[in-house]
Structure 1
Amino acid sequence: MAGMHIQLVTLSALLLVSRAAATELSENDYFGELPTVLTVSRLAQPLNETPGAVTVIERETIRRSGARELADVLRLVPGYLVSGYNGANPTASYHAPLDDYGIRNLVLIDGRPVYSAYYLGGTADGMMGVLLEDVERIEVLRGSNSAAYGANALFGVINVITRHAQDTHGVEASVSAGDGAIRDNYARIGWGGPAASFRLSAGRRSDSGYANLYDDKNISQLHFRGDLRPAPDQELLLSAGVVDRSSGEGFADQPANPPRSRGWRNIHLLGQWRQQSGPGEELKLTASFNEETLRERFTYPYDNSVIVSGDGFGRRVNLELQQQTQLAKQLRAVWGAGYRYENAISRPLYNTDDPVALHEERLFGNLEWRPHPQWLINAGGFAAHHSRIGGYFSPRLMANYLIAPQHTLRFGMTSAVRTPTLFELASDVRFHPQDVASLLAANKRLEALLAWAHQPFLLYKASGGAQPERLKVIEFGYFGNLSELRLTLDLRAYLEKMEDLLAKDRRANVAWYVTPANPFGIPAGEAIPVQDFRNTPGLRSRGIEAQLRWKPFQTTEIWLNQSFQHLHWEEDGNRPFPPSRATTIAWFQQLPGAWDITVIYQSLGSHSWGAGSGPLPTQQRLDARLARQFAIGTTRLEAAIAIQAANGSLPVYAAGSAMQLERRLWGTLRLAF
């Protein structure tokens, strides 16, 4: 309660100062129309009419934040936690840190989903496959959106929109270097005209990860984007890219998970054609292809004859047709159909050389109805048939009530779904131990018994019975565009109930049992355990979050994010939990002489990322960036220096671990002409 009182006092003080400044400057100096977003209902809607809470982060804010990774940008979004089980795998989680891979967020880059088809459906790798310098803005829906996008949009949608090629003509390059072996490079060239414009971007990011851990990473990527106008009423977007990532994995104090190298490559293609035949009338066709390849292997330390591997690759093809139409003056709709095909090929993960595959057919739609000038109703849903689990449906009903021209209330409910991944449905991870003596010396009695009996050791053997996770949400919100105070305020209160949460489960392997005659000390008649995935009761969560953006002067912008949350697990156990309160304050200030400064402060209450990791203590983190811009003829230059964790190194992910997010200082030089 003390933390809440402090934030309310802070907010009151901000409002009083803003009133004092209101007589000096006109609201038109600061606010035009509200941003229009597409992420929530697939219809273009201003922020006060969306059926959900949205945070929009523009290109200038991304640059001035000093963030090097997309995950780090999400620290500016209320309710998001950013960490990672090591420094090479930054992960963002909304509300509840339920996994290490970000599998319950849907991440889109220009409409292309980037979750993994190969392993656990994670987004950690895919989020690193974008160059922040190419990003126009990021729209983050804070809440469930399976009603528009289906599976994976369980706890939010992160929609990354890259810059139109026509806006990036010319050349831009940058270089960064500093502590933590930071070595970043970026180069871009753009060319063309109104009928056809193109961009080619290349970049490399590398650093040494967390302190006291083997988790360095090196990401190299090349991206192409073309924007064409085949006809006056048509647009065609073409993009392609390749991302190569190498990183350190493993832990020196865990013999079964030793330090090693990991290689990941991603290739993607995207084509998007749209035709606007009139006001409110649009037809869009999207096709995308994604392929990822993983290379990771090491010798099992207790048996040199065994190679532990995660090698393999996965592919996804996504096709979608969408139509937007104006049915009547106060009624418009969007609907569409799509097809998704995924497969994975990996003997280490699936015990076969054949593809393990799934496909899904889907229909979706949203109806926006304005029965009265003060009321706006959004009703929508997503229906799909999944080849392995059958059909599912995700509906949404939300209402926005315009109390006054600048004040909107929203309330409603939605139901979301996450379908099991291929690994959760069909994994078969096994190895064949052979060295009985070495395994006994290491006290690995079970593996020694299996080696003696010439049987495989099963790490995972999915039964195929995993069912979708389901989330039901009741939401209340307020959006205020207080132009006389030159600020916007977005409040979201929610009640969430998650059912059928998928979790790892040790079950008996009915294939065989321990016989009475064995010299290994294992009780006779005991079944050999194997990891599977099962649906568990889930959790309940409630909370409130707020985002305030205030621009008291033309050169000053302040963001204040505040969230309070309570989470209850339906099943006892050592479970992860979010911070009960979290605060972020960001100050963006332009200074005389083409200088600007950014300061970002974040405070998190105690929280836990995973079972067995232990709760992290209350943390404060302070980041800052100072930059100066120059112009030499038509060439624009910027020199910047940034510091991360300026208030000192922090423990990350696991309490009691030697892993630390170190204080880091680096510089960046950028030029464009």
Structure 2
Amino acid sequence: MADLRNLVAALPILFCATPGSAAEVSEHDYFGELPIVLTVSRLAQPLNETPGAVTVIEREMIRRSGARELADLLRLVPGYLASGYNGANPTASYHVPLDDYGVRNLVLIDGRPVYSAYYLGGTADGMMGVLLEDVERIEVLRGSNSAAYGANAMFGVINVITRHAQDTHGLEASVSTGGGAIRDNYARIGWGGPAASFRLSTGRRSDSGYANLYDDKTISQLHFRADLRPAPDQELLFSAGVVDRSSGEGFADQPGNPPRTRSWQNIHLLGQWRQQSGAGEELKLTASFNEETLRERFTYPYDASVIVSGDGYGRRVNLELQQQTQIGKQLRAVWGAGYRYEDAVSRPLYNTDDPVALHEERLFGNLEWRPHPHWLINAGGFAAHHSRIGGYFSPRLMANYLVTSQHTLRFGMTSAVRTPTLFELASDVRFYPQDVVRLSGAGKMLEALLASAHQPFLLYKASGEARPERLRVIEFGYFGNLSEQRMTLDVRAYLEKMEDLLAKDRRANVAWYVTPANPFGIPAGVAIPVQDFRNTSGFRTRGIEYQLRWKPFQTTEIWLNQSFQHLHWEEVGNRPFPPSQATTIAWFQQLPAAWDFTVIYQSLGSHSWGAGSDPLPAQQRLDARLAKQFALGTTRLEAALAIQAANGSLPVYAPDSEMRLERRIWGTLRIAF
């Protein structure tokens, strides 16, 4: 913090000659109206009236951050950890790094959920299926929001809102190249008028992943968006896209998980119609379709006749009707109903060629009541019936006390749910070793025994008994719009209790094979338990986090994020845990002659990503970006140079491996006309 104080003290000296200094502008030039967000209650609300803490990352900040991936951009949000079990699968987790795939965050792109219906419900693949150049803003609710969106919104909602097609008329292109085999490109064309506007954008990102690992990736995308106005009171959005991703997987020192190439394709469609019949009155109908296809296979290292595969595909159809209404001068509401259908087809994962499916029907609503000019009450809930686990309900009750127009206190409680995925409910992963001699020679006694008995080697066999995870939250917060100090301050304090946490487990009371007398050294009568998913006791956590956004000059903006957390597991064992302290400082500086400079510094305490793994040591990371803008008539150009991990390479995910996030430097040239 001493370094930060020195930095702040030096700012007037460094930039007193910069055009637009503090003496030349008013407070309104720094802070106008507060951003209006939709993510928390589904009602449009300014930040000081939302029933939860929200971080908004605007389009300019996305560009100036230098981030290439959405997961990396989330380092600008308090409480989020960005990592990945390899460099090809960046993911982000809020508070507790429970999994590799980002299962407990709901990610929406223009209202379309992007979690996987095929495997473990992860969002890592879906988060890479967006071009950051097309994004208008990202709204991140820090905290549970099952009361508005149901399952998957357990630890927060990442709502990615892409640009309206009318705002992207013309042509734009960019190319990036540099260290780590970075080769990125992007192109966009937009056309139309007020009644009908269209955008077609394409992009490709590729790099070599972490050091000392086979995890290079290439992502190619094509997206289309149309914004139509069929009537003065109606809007119609249609979007479609195709994403093709190829990535390296596996580890050279793990015979059962060898290096290989993974291929993932995604096709998505979204249609959204809305009608605004008056002030506070809106009807919205949304329909989306998502299909993902996975191709991943390798030869079983102990028997060349066996192919281990994850091939298959998953689909999701989502329908939703939502109505917003102004009931009275001090009372408004939003309510709706929806239907979701998911299926997966994969013999390797489910031991059948037929679709494995589920469906869910839901009702949701939120009531916003202002009984007094200083009080705002939000009460809402989400009720659903799941075809495999039955019904569940997630309520929320939050109160905002507007002390003045600049100071707001909020407090309340909510309950969140994550329903089990298809894989957790119905997986049946097995393969059949054949080569007994090679297996025995390799010392793989169990596989040799199964091969001799013509029995499958069962990796997973879900019992279907998994129940929903539940998270109960008590939250306190403060939001300050401190215009005289030219800053906003958003503080969130919380008490959380996770119950019925789902985890992989060998069910000792359910055996899928009992060994006979055999020559392989395994005693007869030994029961081989099923690898299943079961509910465990969970954990309790408490903490406080804040985000300070300060604009001391018209050309300077500083973000300071800090989080402090304590986590206690109910069951003793080597469990993942978050850093007890994390700090991020981002400095966005406009310089004379159209230069632009950004520095992002992050400090993390010791933390662990996976059960059974050793903790990562405390670490610091420094990123920077320098850019220069040009104008040639109506043509706009920008040349930028970015550096990642400028302070040196860092261990990532697992400290006992050789994989590291290395220092990288790359350049970007962007042109728009």
TM-score range, shorter chain: over 0.9
Q: What's the counterpart of residue 456 of structure 1? A: 456
Q: What's the counterpart of residue 510 of structure 1? A: 511
Amino acid at match of 2:663: R
Structure 1 residues 203 and 22 mapped into 2: Cα distance closer, same or farther (>3 Å)? Answer: closer
The answer on whether the counterparts of 2:22 and 2:553 sit within 8 Å (CA) in structure 1 is no
TM-score of the two chains, using structure 2 as the length reference: 0.97
Task: Tell me how far apart the structure 1 counterparts of residues 6 and 283 of structure 2 sit (CA, whole Å).
Answer: 47
Task: Tell me how far apart the structure 1 counterparts of residues 4 and 625 of structure 2 sit (CA, whole Å).
Answer: 27
Q: Deviations over 1:513-557 (max 9, x none)?
A: 112x21111122111132100000001000000100000000000
Q: What's the counterpart of residue 489 of structure 1? A: 489
Structure 1 residues 636 and 604 mapped into 2: Cα distance closer, same or farther (>3 Å)? Answer: same
Q: What's the counterpart of residue 192 of structure 2? A: 192
The answer on whether the counterparts of 2:502 and 2:535 sit within 8 Å (CA) in structure 1 is yes
Q: What's the counterpart of residue 599 of structure 2? A: 599
Q: Secondary structure at the match of 2:466?
A: coil
Task: Tell me how far apart the structure 2 counterparts of residues 120 and 14 of structure 1 sit (CA, whole Å).
Answer: 49
Percent identity among equivalent residues? 87
Amino acid at match of 2:244: D
Task: Tell me how far apart the structure 2 counterparts of residues 301 and 513 of structure 1 sit (CA, whole Å).
Answer: 25
Unaligned runs of 5+ in 2: none
Q: How does 1:384-463 map to 2 (within 5 A)?
A: 384-463=384-463
Q: Secondary structure at the match of 1:229?
A: strand
Task: Tell me how far apart the structure 2 counterparts of residues 446 and 579 of structure 1 sit (CA, whole Å).
Answer: 39
Q: Shift of the alpha carbon at 1:15?
A: 13
Q: Deviations over 1:529-588 (max 9, x none)?
A: 321000000010000001000000000000000000001100111110000000000000
Q: How does 1:141-180 map to 2 (within 5 A)?
A: 141-180=141-180
Q: Shift of the alpha carbon at 1:9?
A: 6.9
The answer on whether the counterparts of 2:512 and 2:530 sit within 8 Å (CA) in structure 1 is no
Task: Tell me how far apart the structure 2 counterparts of residues 546 and 8 of structure 1 sit (CA, whole Å).
Answer: 16
Task: Tell me how far apart the structure 2 counterparts of residues 221 and 277 of structure 1 sit (CA, whole Å).
Answer: 37
Task: Tell me how far apart the structure 1 counterparts of residues 172 and 613 of structure 2 sit (CA, whole Å).
Answer: 43
Task: Tell me how far apart the structure 2 counterparts of residues 451 and 311 of structure 1 sit (CA, whole Å).
Answer: 23
Structure 1 residues 372 and 577 mapped into 2: Cα distance closer, same or farther (>3 Å)? Answer: same
1:566 aligns with 2:573: no
Task: Tell me how far apart the structure 1 counterparts of residues 150 and 10 of structure 2 sit (CA, whole Å).
Answer: 40
Name the Cα RMSD after superposition. Answer: 1.6
Q: What's the counterpart of residue 242 of structure 2? A: 242
TM-score of the two chains, using structure 1 as the length reference: 0.97
Task: Tell me how far apart the structure 2 counterparts of residues 240 and 460 of structure 1 sit (CA, whole Å).
Answer: 35
Q: What's the counterpart of residue 644 of structure 2? A: 644
Q: Deviations over 1:580-630 (max 9, x none)?
A: 000000000000000000000000000000023210001000000000000
The answer on whether the counterparts of 2:294 and 2:312 sit within 8 Å (CA) in structure 1 is yes
The answer on whether the counterparts of 1:22 and 1:484 sit within 8 Å (CA) in structure 2 is no
Q: Secondary structure at the match of 1:247?
A: strand
The answer on whether the counterparts of 2:118 and 2:422 sit within 8 Å (CA) in structure 1 is yes
Task: Tell me how far apart the structure 2 counterparts of residues 13 and 148 of structure 1 sit (CA, whole Å).
Answer: 43
Q: How does 1:504-543 map to 2 (within 5 A)?
A: 504-508=504-508, 509-515=510-516, 517-543=517-543
Q: How does 1:330-345 map to 2 (within 5 A)?
A: 330-345=330-345
The answer on whether the counterparts of 1:15 and 1:485 sit within 8 Å (CA) in structure 2 is no
Q: What's the counterpart of residue 304 of structure 1? A: 304
Q: What's the counterpart of residue 364 of structure 2? A: 364
The answer on whether the counterparts of 2:109 and 2:162 sit within 8 Å (CA) in structure 1 is yes
Amino acid at match of 2:513: W
Q: Shift of the alpha carbon at 1:10?
A: 8.1
Structure 1 residues 12 and 373 mapped into 2: Cα distance closer, same or farther (>3 Å)? Answer: farther
Q: How does 1:61-72 map to 2 (within 5 A)?
A: 61-72=61-72
Structure 1 residues 191 and 372 mapped into 2: Cα distance closer, same or farther (>3 Å)? Answer: same
Q: Deviations over 1:605-660 (max 9, x none)?
A: 00000023210001000000000000001100000000000000000000121001
Amino acid at match of 1:499: E
Amino acid at match of 1:522: I
Task: Tell me how far apart the structure 1 counterparts of residues 283 and 644 of structure 2 sit (CA, whole Å).
Answer: 45
Q: Shift of the alpha carbon at 1:130?
A: 0.1
Q: What's the counterpart of residue 45 of structure 2? A: 45
The answer on whether the counterparts of 2:27 and 2:484 sit within 8 Å (CA) in structure 1 is yes
Q: Deviations over 1:237-267 (max 9, x none)?
A: 0000000000000000001100000000000
Task: Tell me how far apart the structure 2 counterparts of residues 113 and 7 of structure 1 sit (CA, whole Å).
Answer: 41
Structure 1 residues 11 and 419 mapped into 2: Cα distance closer, same or farther (>3 Å)? Answer: farther
Corresponding residue pairs, total: 666
Q: What's the counterpart of residue 630 of structure 1? A: 630
Amino acid at match of 2:437: A
Q: What's the counterpart of residue 219 of structure 1? A: 219
Q: Secondary structure at the match of 1:425?
A: helix
1:313 aligns with 2:338: no
